[in-house]
Amino acid sequence: MAESHAVAAAGPKPRLRWIIPVAACIFGIILVAGTIMRIHDRHQLHAMNVAALVPSVTVVHPGGHAVDTLVLPGILQAWYSAPVYARTNGYLRKWYVDIGQKVEAGQLLAEIDTPDVDLQLAGARAALGTRTAQRDLAGITSRRWDRLNAQNAVSQQETDERRGDLAASEATRHEAAAEVERLETLSGFKHIIAPFAGVVTSRATDIGALIVAGTAASQPLFTVSDVTRLRLYVRVPQAYAARMREGFVAHFTVPDYRNRQFEARMLHSSDAVDSQSGTMLVQLVYENGENLLKPGAYAQIAFTFHGPEPQAPPTVRVPASSLLFRKDGPTVALVDEHDHARIQPVSILIDFGTELEVTGLAPQDRIITNPPDDIGDGDSVRPREGGGHGN
- Supply the CATH number for residue 150's domain: 1.10.287
Helix (H, G, I), strand (E, B) or coil at 51: helix
Residues 198 and 109 in one domain: yes
For residue 251, tell me if it sits in a domain.
yes
For residue 238, tell me if it sits in a domain.
yes
**Which of 276, 300, 282 lies closest to 241 in space, CA to CA?**
282
| Per-residue confidence (pLDDT) for residue 7, from 0 to 100 | 47
| Dist CA 108 CA 93 (whole Å) | 13
| Per-residue confidence (pLDDT) for residue 318, from 0 to 100 | 85
- Give the pairing of strands 198-203 and 108-113: unpaired
Residues 177 and 199 in one domain: no
| Dist CA 317 CA 335 (whole Å) | 17
- Supply the CATH number for residue 320's domain: 2.40.420.20
| Residue at a domain's end among 305, 330, 346 | 305
Residues 273 and 296 in one domain: yes
Residues 335 and 323 in one domain: yes
For residue 357, tell me if it sits in a domain.
yes
For residue 138, tell me if it sits in a domain.
yes
Mean pLDDT by 10 residues, the chain (391 residues): 48 61 74 74 60 71 68 92 92 93 94 91 93 92 88 86 90 94 91 93 92 85 94 88 84 90 91 88 92 91 71 73 84 86 83 78 85 83 69 42
Structural domains of the chain, count? 5
Helix (H, G, I), strand (E, B) or coil at 50: helix
- Give the pairing of strands 56-61 and 382-388: parallel
- Supply the CATH number for residue 204's domain: 2.40.50.100
Residues 247 and 352 in one domain: no
pTM: 0.57
Residues 123 and 185 in one domain: yes
| Per-residue confidence (pLDDT) for residue 14, from 0 to 100 | 59
| Per-residue confidence (pLDDT) for residue 391, from 0 to 100 | 42
Enclosing domain of residue 197 = 86-113+193-219
For residue 147, tell me if it sits in a domain.
yes
- Give the pairing of strands 108-113 and 341-345: unpaired
- Supply the CATH number for residue 264's domain: 2.40.30.170
Please give the helix or strand (H or E) that residue 277 lies within, else none: none
Please give the helix or strand (H or E) that residue 29 lies within, else none: helix 12-53
For residue 209, tell me if it sits in a domain.
yes
76 Ramachandran zone, left/alpha/beta (phi>0; psi -120 to 50): beta
For residue 70, tell me if it sits in a domain.
no
